[in-house]
Amino acid sequence: MSALDDARLVLLRHGETTWSTQHKHTGRSDLPLTEHGEDQARAAGPLLAALKLRDPLVFTSPRSRAMRTAELAGLTAATVDADLAEWDYGDYEGLTTPEIRESAPGWTIWTGTVPGGESADAVRARADRVLDSVEPVLPQRDIVLVGHGHFSRALIARWAEFDIREGRRFAMSTGALTVLGYEHETRTVLAHNLVPITTS
């Protein structure tokens, strides 16, 4: 069996924020976790422990909601990677999809334009850069990336060698985990949108 068959790349989306509960696009805005979001982050800890990761390297988005999630999940010694920041929503920051569709009918982040923000091509390039940087380490150590909803979905699509727009196929809840890896040395999705059980 190849060493790659044991390799895992784990994505952890940050816990709930006030804007995530309202489905507002939250990119540059540095919102804290809600109380429930902190509970979600703590609950991710036992789920991560159950994976029995191999001496994991941890990287986190520079946003405080991601760094706090990593801390509460017990992911120590995390390295901040600016490339793990959420999609830059530009003029659509803080708006919901229905609000955006009032001026851009049928709009989605995956298929529409983002005035003043990042294009899908720019996000794809960033996702590819992240994956290119971590993949060489995977034969020796597992890796955990703590970040955001849309950018994590972009990472999943690119890991699976899909076009960036196919991130729309991978809904990801706050506080959820996705496990990427290999089967017979081919990139695959091992588990997706695992939501820890919380007490709140």
Give domain status of residue 59, yes or no: yes
Given the residues 25, 86, 118, 148, the one annotated as active site: 86
Give the residue carrying structure tokens 């708006």: 95
Instruction: Give how many domains the chain has, as a whole number.
Output: 1
**CA separation for the pair 7, 163 (Å, rounded):** 23
Within 10 angstroms of residue 82's Cβ, the number of other Cβ atoms is 8
Given the residues 14, 25, 148, 150, the one annotated as active site: 14
Q: Is 150 a catalytic residue?
A: no
The answer to whether the beta carbons of residues 82 and 62 sit under 8 Å apart is yes
Give domain status of residue 132, yes or no: yes
Give domain status of residue 199, yes or no: no
Q: Which domain holds residue 66?
A: 3-194
pLDDT digits (tens, 9 = 90+) for 156-182: 999 999 999 999 999 999 999 999 999
pLDDT digits (tens, 9 = 90+) for 96-142: 999 999 999 999 999 999 999 999 999 999 999 999 999 999 999 99
Give one word for 74, left, alpha or beta, with left for phi > 0 and alpha for psi -120 to 50: left
The answer to whether the beta carbons of residues 192 and 31 sit under 8 Å apart is no
The answer to whether the beta carbons of residues 66 and 147 sit under 8 Å apart is yes
CATH number at residue 150: 3.40.50.1240
Q: Is 184 a catalytic residue?
A: no
